[in-house]
Structure 1
Amino acid sequence: MKFVDEASIRVEAGNGGRGCVSFRREKYIPKGGPDGGDGGNGGSIYLLADNNINTLVDFRYKRRHRAESGQSGRGRQMTGRGGEDLTILVPVGTRVFDKETEELIGELLESGQRLLVAQGGFHGIGNARYKSSTNRAPRQFTPGTPGEQRDLFLELILLADIGLLGFPNAGKSSLIRKVSSARPKVADYPFTTLYPNLGVVRVGEHRSFVIADIPGVIEGAAEGAGLGIHFLKHLSRTRLLLHLVDIAPLDASEDPADQVRKIEAEMDAFGADLMGKERWLVLNKTDLIDPEDYAERRAALIEALDWQAPIYGISALNGEGTLDLINDLMRRLEALKAETSAALPEVVSSESPASDPDDTAAPDTGAWHPLD
């Protein structure tokens, strides 16, 4: 299935049904009075997040979505049938914008979450509702109001805990294949990854995280070189970034530190506060050089970048060093989640006494120590 992360659609909610003007006419009942019923409400349009959908490709072929209109009222005070609501399935992580105003209508971040994007029209009023002691034969009625119509822009941003970034052929796809069940394409030429991939890394029972692999970014991507920086948006919701670097490039003149700086420049050009995210450096392809040469290159890279964050050496091909990496990632993610939970305001129930202040301290998640 083709991966599509942007789409434009038009939604048209149903119109409200027209109110009826009618008078009761039966044998032996003179002047039966007004009995026109109300119309039915128009159907509304909702977006529903579904875990079984991972692309917006269907919206490239069906761009117009219309809900059912309400039926008109009838005599004998019969109300018209309301139009059925229309529910449109979208992937989890979809953001919805109004194209005309560029307003963010909402985000669908959990499976089963619903978002109203077009309100159905209100039903019309029949003449039976206008009768009174002074107006015994009303002919007033109201037509139903039109349903809301909108042009929407849908943008899918993948939900992942860890994001991978780096130059083409740095080994991002090889790493995600090694540590998860995802099977992105791997080949010995650049840009084998043309769209983002997600993989679930299972560390133990009830302990796992989601990792996202995006196409490689090269120098000048902000100006459209390569595949551009379009896919960097999929890293905006991650908690932590892994910056993969080829520590043994085929071209000996290529400087790994220079590659890191080029990626950082493209991240800065993209914005979305990517540079403010916690980022670990992962030196890949250590199996292609001897340990002494690796130690020298690692030390030179740390000095050139003045790198203070964790740094790892791995081989995505044979898995060397990947177990330590994913275990430390899991511990770090658990620590970040604990910090987030501790920062939330405590809600004390009025039915139970407040707990001891010492009991509200955040649990000890254990220290995490990056391995060389």
Structure 2
Amino acid sequence: MFIDRAKIYVKSGDGGDGSISFRREKYVPLGGPDGGDGGKGGDVILVADSNMTTLLDFTYKRKYIAERGVNGSGSNCFGKNGENLYIKVPMGTIVRDVESNKIMADLSHAGDTIVVAKGGRGGKGNARFATSTRQAPNFAEPGMPGEERNIELELKLLADVGLIGFPNVGKSTLLSVVSKAKPKIANYHFTTLKPNLGVVDVQGVQSFVIADIPGIIEGAAEGVGLGLDFLRHIERTRLLIHVVDISGIEGRDPIEDFLKINEELRKYSVKLWDRTQIIAANKSDMLYDENVFENFKKKVNELGYDKVFKISGATKQGVEELLKETARILSTIPIKDLEISEEERFVPEDKRFTYKIRVEDGVYIVEGSFVDRLLASVNVNEPDSLKYFHKVLRNKGVLNELMEMGIQDGDIVRLNDFEFEFLL
């Protein structure tokens, strides 16, 4: 089964908590603080693997969570860092943040990696807070929470050449002739329901990868049928072979078909529409009138396409010449990574802890992630810890902001469930 799109949930490991501990030995009655730091949480990392070809694995497992950092302990023992979680994906995978719909990475080469969720930093143990005036701090930092997000994986095939054209024009037959690929072939529309890849390895021709893109129909660029799913697989190709049924046995007009397919390419992407094309006039063994091909070639040439080959996938007529010209043109086209505009690129949000202040019924309420973090770090019932609490509020600018808002001595300040009277 070929799966080329999947959504998964990822969460990095939380940081381990710092330890509150004091040295206690038989002959050391006044041992100082010796609480160690917590370990860092594990990252979630995607890795491009050349041995994977689909995103099928992600239909069975959709949640990935990295290991948490270990808490610190006494004797200045630091907690162990959590193990990173590595997730293998096929080469050619686009990683997108679901919430913003922005692209995080294009993993197009073997071994490419992207950290999609960074592990939380470990909290500091109480030994870190000891000073000449605060010799027995009875508080420590909790570990930072890990990042979590939903991401979408989108696979775009890595092929040098894309075979395009209406259904049933002979693309799959041509692929089976020029490579060892064994696509399903039959004489009815939409035989191919998934892209097929094959490697062209002919004597005297530089090998290249060719993809049979399922038949594109009118309205594909607007999502008719499976149009969008098919069209995006052509984006990475450097060259297109446009296969047209020249025989007319099904009552189709080859030039009309050619124009319709190119119009769908133009609607989907001007860059795709402007890509170099070689035209393969297929099923020439069933051609009843040679003038049909000559007229077709003349009209196509007038449109600016000068590479037109009369071939037959069934008899292999003209196929070798087509492949040699394809390899020659490919040698002149450099390999480029998928272009990601600044508007499309994902920018990680600033994870600094923030707060906001509002006044309700005369009470100054400070709330936000900064407040949650601070209250988790201190013991407000312990004098030294409470001094540290007020120092942080002063250094963070909370106290100055309260004064700018007009707070007076004796006014109540509330942080979550903790309240205190403000004193200048």
Do both proteins adopt the same fold according to a TM-score greater than 0.5, normalized to the shorter chain? yes
Equivalent position amino acid for 2:314 in 1? L
Q: Say which of 294, 298, 301 aligns to 2:293.
A: 298
Identity of aligned residues (%): 48
Deviation at 1:225, TM superposition (A): 4.0
Could you say if the C-alpha distance between residues 135 and 222 of structure 1 is closer, same or farther in structure 2, counting changes exceeding 3 Å? Answer: same
CA contact (8 A) 1:236 1:272 kept: no
Which residue pairs with 2:102 in the alignment?
Answer: 103
Residues 131-210 of structure 1: pairs in structure 2 closer than 5 A: 131-204=130-203, 207-210=206-209
Deviation at 1:159, TM superposition (A): 0.8
Within the alignment, does 1:312 sit opposite 2:300 as a pair?
Answer: no
User: Greater CA deviation, 206-215 or 121-130?
Assistant: 206-215
Which residue pairs with 1:325 in the alignment?
Answer: 322
Secondary structure at the aligned position of 1:35 is classed as coil
Deviation at 1:207, TM superposition (A): 2.6
Could you say if the C-alpha distance between residues 130 and 226 of structure 1 is closer, same or farther in structure 2, counting changes exceeding 3 Å? Answer: closer
Q: Counterparts of 1:201 and 1:6 in 2: how far apart (Å)?
A: 27
Deviation at 1:205, TM superposition (A): 7.7
Deviation at 1:302, TM superposition (A): 2.9
Q: Which has the larger radius of gyration?
A: 2
Q: Counterparts of 2:5 and 2:186 in 1: how far apart (Å)?
A: 27
Residues 76-87 of structure 1: pairs in structure 2 closer than 5 A: 76-87=75-86
CA contact (8 A) 1:178 1:319 kept: yes
Secondary structure at the aligned position of 2:209 is classed as strand
Which residue pairs with 1:336 in the alignment?
Answer: 333
Within the alignment, does 1:7 sit opposite 2:2 as a pair?
Answer: no
Residues 151-300 of structure 1: pairs in structure 2 closer than 5 A: 151-204=150-203, 207-252=206-251, 254-271=252-269, 273-289=271-287, 293-294=289-290, 296-300=291-295
User: Greater CA deviation, 306-315 or 178-187?
Assistant: 306-315
User: Greater CA deviation, 11-20 or 267-276?
Assistant: 267-276
Q: Counterparts of 1:197 and 1:25 in 2: how far apart (Å)?
A: 69
TM-score by length of 1: 0.86
Equivalent position amino acid for 2:161 in 1? I
CA contact (8 A) 2:205 2:323 kept: no
Q: Counterparts of 2:21 and 2:228 in 1: how far apart (Å)?
A: 64
Q: Counterparts of 2:265 and 2:110 in 1: how far apart (Å)?
A: 30
Q: Counterparts of 1:107 and 1:118 in 2: how far apart (Å)?
A: 16
1:22-67 CA-partner distances (Å, limit 9, x unpaired): 0011111111111101101000000000111111122122111100
Secondary structure at the aligned position of 2:334 is classed as helix
Q: Count matched residues.
A: 334
Secondary structure at the aligned position of 1:268 is classed as helix
Equivalent position amino acid for 2:218 in 1? E
Secondary structure at the aligned position of 1:79 is classed as coil
Equivalent position amino acid for 1:330 in 2? A
Equivalent position amino acid for 2:262 in 1? E
1:307-340 CA-partner distances (Å, limit 9, x unpaired): 43200011111211111111111111112239x8
1:119-162 CA-partner distances (Å, limit 9, x unpaired): 00000000111222222111231111001111111111011110
Could you say if the C-alpha distance between residues 48 and 205 of structure 1 is closer, same or farther in structure 2, counting changes exceeding 3 Å? Answer: farther
Secondary structure at the aligned position of 1:203 is classed as coil
1:257-286 CA-partner distances (Å, limit 9, x unpaired): 111111122212222621110111110011
CA contact (8 A) 1:51 1:92 kept: yes
Deviation at 1:227, TM superposition (A): 3.1
Equivalent position amino acid for 1:324 in 2? E
Secondary structure at the aligned position of 2:20 is classed as coil
TM-score by length of 2: 0.76
Q: Counterparts of 1:162 and 1:31 in 2: how far apart (Å)?
A: 76
Equivalent position amino acid for 1:257 in 2? I
Which residue pairs with 1:353 in the alignment?
Answer: none
Residues 113-128 of structure 1: pairs in structure 2 closer than 5 A: 113-128=112-127
Could you say if the C-alpha distance between residues 132 and 224 of structure 1 is closer, same or farther in structure 2, counting changes exceeding 3 Å? Answer: closer
Secondary structure at the aligned position of 2:333 is classed as helix
CA contact (8 A) 1:39 1:80 kept: yes
Could you say if the C-alpha distance between residues 194 and 109 of structure 1 is closer, same or farther in structure 2, counting changes exceeding 3 Å? Answer: same
CA contact (8 A) 2:197 2:212 kept: yes
Residues 17-96 of structure 1: pairs in structure 2 closer than 5 A: 17-96=16-95
CA contact (8 A) 2:205 2:327 kept: no
1:69-119 CA-partner distances (Å, limit 9, x unpaired): 101111111111111000001000000111111121111011111111100
Secondary structure at the aligned position of 1:185 is classed as coil
Which residue pairs with 1:346 in the alignment?
Answer: none
1:196-236 CA-partner distances (Å, limit 9, x unpaired): 11111113489311111111012233455443332111111
Q: Counterparts of 2:260 and 2:205 in 1: how far apart (Å)?
A: 38
Please, which runs of 5 or more residues in structure 1 have no aligned partner? 341-372
Q: Counterparts of 2:197 and 2:233 in 1: how far apart (Å)?
A: 11
Could you say if the C-alpha distance between residues 206 and 41 of structure 1 is closer, same or farther in structure 2, counting changes exceeding 3 Å? Answer: farther
Secondary structure at the aligned position of 2:285 is classed as helix
